[in-house]
Structures are given as structure tokens and as C-alpha cells.
Structure 1
Amino acid sequence: METVVTARVPATEFALSTTFEMLPDMEAAVDPIIESGDETATPVVRVRGGDRDALDDAFAADPSVECASPLSSQGAEDACSYRVDWSDDVYRVLNTLTAANGRILNIRGQQARWRFQLLYPRRENLLEAHEHWTEQGVTVDIERIHEADGRPSTDAGFTGT
């Protein structure tokens, strides 16, 4: 049965660490990244907690951001969307998190950490992914594991974070 994992990764190991330092009240949501063949669409990041100029400055100073282009304001003065080209290090972490046929369902960041919801086809894929996270040195703190139908998952074969 498909397994859903909710996990946290520090911003220092993923993305926008400098931005979170400059704008500690910022919240971010990354729209799912869609791949088509060899092409990967540039993700859209929705942010709240800073005015446009402060966000522009923070993204420009952040080494995890290659380029950030503002798309729109979302009604509230402190909410905007950006198209973001990430650094290679960010894509490396995304590839690490989705090892063993994992899929990203949701990515949200605040207070210098990111929360991911990841979907794996089977529990065994999660176990394989966890080994890969460890091998690659990515700190992943598991908050919750459950079956795709919402039932809590048992500990069978999985210990630790």
C-alpha cells in the first residue's frame, strides 16, 4: 500500500536559509515540480511575511536561489508568488528525498525549516529512501507515517529519523 510521510528538513540543508534569516516571519509554499521528459518546470514559490522589496533583496542574497522572478501579489500586502530557479544543491536534496520512487505532495517552509509530504509506492520504498537520505547526509526528521488511505502506519521495518 502507498505510504505517505511527513518530514522536516532544516533550511540550511535545503533552501532559503539566508532568506529565512533575513525575514524570520516569512512562510513559503513551493508548488509541486512537474517533470516532462528531460525538462523540469521552474517551480513557483508562494511567500508571505515580507514586502516585495525585502523578498527581492533576500532572494538575491540567498545562495540557494539562482534567479527569482516575481509573478504576482496575492491580495495581501505581504503575499507574493515568485518563479524560482534553484541552485544545484537544492535539486540534489529534492532528488535525495524522492529516491526510491518517492513523489513530493507538498512543500512548506517557515522558521528556518521545511516540511515535506512525500508519497512512496510501498513501505519498502520508504525504507530504501531513508537509507539514501542517510548516505547523502540529509537530515530528515520524520513527523508522521501513514498509509495513503489515512490509516496510521505501523513501525514494521522502520526505526529512527
Structure 2
Amino acid sequence: MATIVEFRFPTEEFALEETLDTHPGAHIEIERVVANDPEQITPYMWARTDDFDAFEATLEDDPTVEDVVMFSDTGEERSYQMTWTGPIDFLVQVLTEYSGTITHADGSADGWDLRVVFPDRQSLSRAYEAAQEGGLQLDIKTIYGSEDTRGVQYGLTERQRNMLAAAFEAGYFTVPRETSLADLAEQEDTSHQALSERLRRATGQLVESTLITHNDGSEE
């Protein structure tokens, strides 16, 4: 049975401390994280803030990140790809050594809230022991088991799963459609463009996880 843990990281032990401290009203949501090698990871994230120009200027100078690229701007939010080079050893271990999957990650000036799914309780225990040995302060909120690993399997964040489910239940995917994107955006209390962007990303992730076969470059 999969084991799920929800915990909080202080920003100084993770990433983007300078950016989040400088912009206390900013909120960051990690869409997915890729572990490129043992020394760096690449997060794809959404950010909300009152002043994107000032936020991006701070982000470019933040010592924990490199190679920041802005992907899209919905007006309310902007999405970015970057490389984290800060104190991320534990996170890389979670992703690579203990088979953890990050299904939710929110960052603000108060800290980082993460939800991680491990294949079993033993993997979680090993990851927690590694955190303690590294002197990390993990504020664990809850630990629970789940036999429903579909969200993990498909690589969707909780927000993406909820959004797709809401669109499905409202009849957005029926033929003919029973609701419009504008009505769905109003229901979700977001803009038409922001919802459209998120739906495309979530649908693309679902298709990639279920229909696309990635090869290793070898010839058959």
C-alpha cells in the first residue's frame, strides 16, 4: 500500500528563500519536478504575485536558482521552468533513492508544504531517517496509507486532478459540451485564459502518461 506524507519545509532549508522573503504575498505551486542529476533538479512552477516584474527580478538574483525561463502568462499567474541549485540534497534523495513522488508542493514566505507518495512505509521511514541525519527540520502534518495511486501513476498534481474532474462532471468533455470554458472558469473562480492553460497542461500530462511510449534511444 502506498504511504502518503504531508510535511512543511522551512524556506531556508529548501529553495527560493530570498524570493519568498522579498515578496511575502507571492505564492508558488510546483506542477512537477524532474531530477536531472544528483546535484540539481528542474521544477515547473506557477507563481501568483502582485508585481511580476519585481518578482522576476528577485528570482533572477536568487542564489538557489539558475536558468529561469517564463513559459506563459495568464494575467493572474505565470509559469516558469528553472534549475534549483540550493539545499536540495534531501529532495533529490526522495525522488531518486526512495521512489518518492511529489504530488503537491506550495511555497510562500511561511515555508514549503509538500505531499509526497512513497511506495510503502519502509521507503518513507528511510527517507525520514535521511532527513534527520542531514539535520533537516521536517514538520510532519500527517501520514496515511492509500491504495488509490492513480493520480501518482498519471503524474497529475492534486490541483490538476480536481480541475479535470470538475470539468468532466460539468460536462465539458461531452459531445456536445454541456458547459463552456467561460462558465467553467467562473465556477472555478479563475480567468478563462488561466483555466485554458491549466486544462491543456493537465490533459497533455494525462496523454503523455497513458498513451505515449518513451524509448531509450536504442534501435529495435
Identify whether the pair has TM-score above 0.5, normalized to the shorter chain: yes
For 1:110 and 1:54, how far apart are their aligned partners in 2?
A: 16
Q: Aligned residue pairs: how many?
A: 146
Structure with larger Rg? 2
| Residue 93 (str. 1) matches residue 90 (str. 2) | yes
Which residue does 1:20 correspond to in 2? 20
| Residue 58 (str. 1) matches residue 55 (str. 2) | no
Cα deviation, 1:95-142, whole Å, max 9, x if unaligned, reads 244442222112111233001111111112111111111011221110
CA contact (8 A) 1:8 1:142 kept: yes
Q: CA deviation at 1:149?
A: 4.2
Structure 2 unmatched runs, 5+ = 149-220
Matched to 1:94, the amino acid is: L
CA contact (8 A) 1:96 1:133 kept: no
Q: CA deviation at 1:61?
A: 2.3
Return closer, same or farther for 1:19/1:104 CA change in 2, 3 Å cut-off.
same
CA contact (8 A) 2:28 2:48 kept: yes
Q: Which has the higher strand share?
A: 1
- TM-score under structure 2 normalisation? 0.60
Cα deviation, 1:64-87, whole Å, max 9, x if unaligned, reads 1112121211232xx211111111
CA contact (8 A) 1:66 1:84 kept: yes
Cα deviation, 1:27-60, whole Å, max 9, x if unaligned, reads 001121245899x983211100232211211102
What SS does the corresponding residue of 2:50 show, helix, strand or coil?
Answer: coil
- TM-score under structure 1 normalisation? 0.80
For 1:12 and 1:114, how far apart are their aligned partners in 2?
A: 10
CA contact (8 A) 2:90 2:130 kept: no
Structure 1 unmatched runs, 5+ = 151-161
Return closer, same or farther for 1:108/1:48 CA change in 2, 3 Å cut-off.
same
What SS does the corresponding residue of 2:15 show, helix, strand or coil?
Answer: coil
What SS does the corresponding residue of 1:127 show, helix, strand or coil?
Answer: helix
Q: How does 1:1-161 map to 2 (within 5 A)?
A: 1-34=1-34, 42-76=42-76, 79-87=77-85, 89-90=87-88, 92-98=89-95, 99-149=97-147
CA contact (8 A) 1:17 1:112 kept: no
For 2:60 and 2:110, how far apart are their aligned partners in 1?
A: 17
Q: Say what the alpha-carbon RMSD is for the aligned residues.
A: 2.3
Q: Which has the higher helix share?
A: 2
Q: CA deviation at 1:8?
A: 0.5
For 1:37 and 1:25, how far apart are their aligned partners in 2?
A: 32
CA contact (8 A) 1:30 1:45 kept: yes
Higher relative contact order (CA 8 A, sep 6+): 1
For 1:140 and 1:44, how far apart are their aligned partners in 2?
A: 23
Matched to 2:92, the amino acid is: N
